Amino acid sequence: MREIVIGGAQMGPIQKADTREEVVDRMIALLQQAKGAGCDLVVFPELCLTTFFPRWYMEDQAEVDQWFEREMPNAATAPLFAAAREAQIAISFGYAELTPEGRHFNTSILTDRDGNIVGKYRKTHLPGHSEFDHDRAFQHLEKRYFEPGDTGFQVWRNMDAIMGMCICNDRRWPETYRVMGLQGVELVMLGYNTPSVNSQDSVEGLEKRLYHSELSMTSAAYQNATWVVGVAKAGDEDGHPLMGGSMIVDPNGYVMARAETEGDELIVHACDMDACSFGKSTIFDFARHRRIEHYGLICSQTGVVLPD
Ligand code: CDT
């Protein structure tokens, strides 16, 4: 048995006016709770140091850049790294990254138990649009503020397991998990900020949004025989509701822990990495069963081409 007690640290809303220091205090409180629950690893949401700023249209690059971190750890997050090291808990969290070369990414990192960053992932599938869209009920400007990630879907050996990350919209794409599955991934960690309503379809509300999120993560866990931990930033951010629904999914696709609120809430499950072995060696033994001679379109074509 290779058991890792995992905490999914869902976070409630972060308002525009909230400081990084206030947010980090909340993260440390969740970390202390996780320590009490015996957690080895805690997963925090996407862009968890600030409000979900891509909902706001900005033209001034200096205004945009105030939402980004130039280094990690930095002055605001150092206490979080120190608390994690002190508790001997590995952490993963998302933030907006501004590189020394001036590149902007939607990023998440993974540490070991000593607070050393051992993995970095930059979001691949950026949803939304790049210009102000008058037809939407609200904006989703990730394509304006970020460039698509350049890391691809790597995995890392950490805590005697094979771990990978993706971010929010990535969780809806089977390719995300399969690329990690082909590297033997046993735990996929992801954070998300998902609006509770569809900005392009006011009829699509919370129930369907939660269902699609669960469907994406549970099917991917089963089809790749991996644990999936999905963690929300939830609640009302300056009048804009984000859904909760954080969950820990086992390699059979069953939900083993689920958040009940839209606030700061820790969900915990003892995850046995050896539980991945059966699926990986039987129905999803990729080496025996995959037929790559028929999968070429997936890598040679982006959009749909209809038959004549
Ligand atoms: N943050 C993020 O990727 N959110 C998207 C919203 C899609 S609607 C433009 C998601 O897939 O949840």
Q: Give residue limits of the domains in the chain.
A: 3-300
Whole-number pLDDT of residue 155? 98
Report yes or no: 234 and 242 within 8 Å, Cβ to Cβ: yes
Q: What is the mean pLDDT of residues 206-218?
A: 98
Whole-number pLDDT of residue 72? 98
Give the pLDDT confidence of 143-158 residue by residue, as tens digits.
999 999 999 999 999 9
**Separation of CA 230 and ligand 1 centre (Å):** 13
Catalytic residue of the set 97, 123, 237, 265: 123
pLDDT classification of 84: cutoffs 50, 70, 90: very high
- Ligand 1 atom at minimal distance to the Cα of residue 125: 3
Look at residues 192, 194, 251, 206 and name the one whose alpha carbon lies nearest to residue 225. Answer: 251
For the Cβ of 284 lying below 6 angstroms from any atom of ligand 1, the answer is: no
Establish whether 123 is a catalytic residue.
Answer: yes
How far, in Å, CA of 298 to CA of 26, rounded?
42
pLDDT classification of 202: cutoffs 50, 70, 90: confident
Whole-number pLDDT of residue 90? 98
Whole-number pLDDT of residue 95? 99
Hey, whose CA ends up nearest to atom 1 of ligand 1?
193
Report the DSSP pairing between strands 240-242 and 187-192.
unpaired
3-300, CATH topology level: Nitrilase/N-carbamoyl-D-aminoacid amidohydrolase (3.60.110)
Percent of the chain with pLDDT over 90: 99
Give the pLDDT confidence of 101-114 residue by residue, as tens digits.
999 999 999 999 99
Establish whether 271 is a catalytic residue.
Answer: no
H/E run at residue 26? helix 20-36
Using a cut of 0.85, tell me whether the model's pTM lies above it.
yes
Establish whether 208 is a catalytic residue.
Answer: no
For the Cβ of 196 lying below 6 angstroms from any atom of ligand 1, the answer is: no
Maximum C-alpha span of the chain: 63
Give the pLDDT confidence of 240-291 residue by residue, as tens digits.
999 999 999 999 999 999 999 999 999 999 999 999 999 999 999 999 999 9
How far, in Å, CA of 34 to CA of 22, rounded?
19
